[in-house]
Amino acid sequence: MEETPNIILPKWLDELIFNEMGANYCRQNSNMTNIDDDNDKALNYLGTYFPRSYAEAYTIFGRFFQKYKVHYNGKAELKIFDFGCGTGGEIIGILTAIEENLPEVMTVEVVGFDGNQIALRKYEQILQVFREKTRLQIVDKVFPHKVDDFYDFDLVGEVLNQKFDLVITFKAICEFVEKQQFETKNPYSHITKMFLPKLSVDGIMVLVDITVYSDVSEQWLPKMMDKGLAESNCEIVERNQDFNQAIFVSHSHRMNDVSKIAWRIIKNR
């Protein structure tokens, strides 16, 4: 039976997003597409989904780094690319997991990609505060670019002229499914094929998404994810058990808020 984690949002992070930045917890904020959010909607997202993304990434990577710690022996630097980083909850979660589990890592380069500039500004504000509290040296770059079609997506690959130890995408691919931006193609397959070649020799890619039925694709997203990965010639290293995994997060505006996700950690064959 898979353990159900219950994560408490760090006090400094709780106070920052809710007290200083004005985030709102909004249980009705269930729209799968957030690329066009205005500031009010971005604040709802920040108070609702940022803590969930933090808890998801902290849980997944905390366990992964503990299990595969030997693979990171001697590594002083890690490079991360986040496709659809939004307000950056998963990035702060990963950085916290790195700090706690990989003592040899001193520098982390983070490249964040997202089409919503309001969300990106909030991410950069949070990351700046994190810098003041961590032993890690954080080098960050952001690419504010909106993907509307295949041509736009190809531009993403062109600007990534380096290899990454971690390529991640958290609850972003569902937006491409809902908007049918890749027409009839499976977005999980298309995005995976684009980013697998960007991995370093021992690099991994992590896909996380919500576990709902899409009326647009007429499929459950976890099943669509697995079909896409089957087309991508990748190896699944770790995955959640059964259909989804429940992860709980508690903060000043909600106790035991639950996030149900499907996640896969993959690498090149």
Whether residue 163 contacts residue 198, with contact meaning beta carbons closer than 8 Å, is answered with yes
Q: Among 134, 155, 137, which Cα is nearest to 146's? A: 155
pTM surpassing 0.85?
Answer: yes
Whether residue 212 contacts residue 193, with contact meaning beta carbons closer than 8 Å, is answered with no
Q: What is d(CA 68, CA 152) in angstroms, rounded to the nearest whole number?
A: 35
Q: Give the pLDDT mean for 239-268.
A: 96
φ, ψ of residue 170 to 5 degrees: the values are -115, 115
Predicted confidence at residue 151, as pLDDT, reads: 66
- Residue 36 scores a pLDDT above 90: no
Q: Count of alpha carbons within 13 Å of 64, Cβ hemisphere only? A: 24
Q: What is the dihedral of CA 263, 242, 232, 149, to 10 degrees?
A: -60
Tens digit of pLDDT for each residue in 142-159? 988 777 666 667 767 666
Q: What is d(CA 28, CA 224) in angstroms, rounded to the nearest whole number?
A: 25
Domain segments of the chain: what residues?
Answer: 6-268
Q: What is d(CA 172, CA 166) in angstroms, rounded to the nearest whole number?
A: 16
Amino acid at 233: N
Distances (CA, A) of 27 to 1, 93, 253: 28, 22, 11
| pLDDT band, residue 57 (cuts 50/70/90) | very high
Q: 6-268 has which CATH code?
A: 3.40.50.150
Q: Among 168, 23, 147, which Cα is nearest to 92's? A: 168
Predicted confidence at residue 179, as pLDDT, reads: 78
Between 27 and 199, the higher pLDDT residue? 199
Q: Count of alpha carbons within 13 Å of 131, Cβ hemisphere only? A: 14
3-state secondary structure of 136: coil
Q: Give the pLDDT mean for 167-171.
A: 97
Between 160 and 43, the higher pLDDT residue? 43
- Residue 1 scores a pLDDT above 60: no
Whether residue 24 contacts residue 44, with contact meaning beta carbons closer than 8 Å, is answered with yes
The burial of 204, by beta-carbon neighbours within 10 Å (0-12 exposed, 13-18 middle, 19 or more buried), is given as buried
Predicted confidence at residue 183, as pLDDT, reads: 67
Q: What is d(CA 2, CA 264) in angstroms, rounded to the nearest whole number?
A: 15
Q: Among 14, 59, 44, which Cα is nearest to 238's? A: 59
Amino acid at 194: M
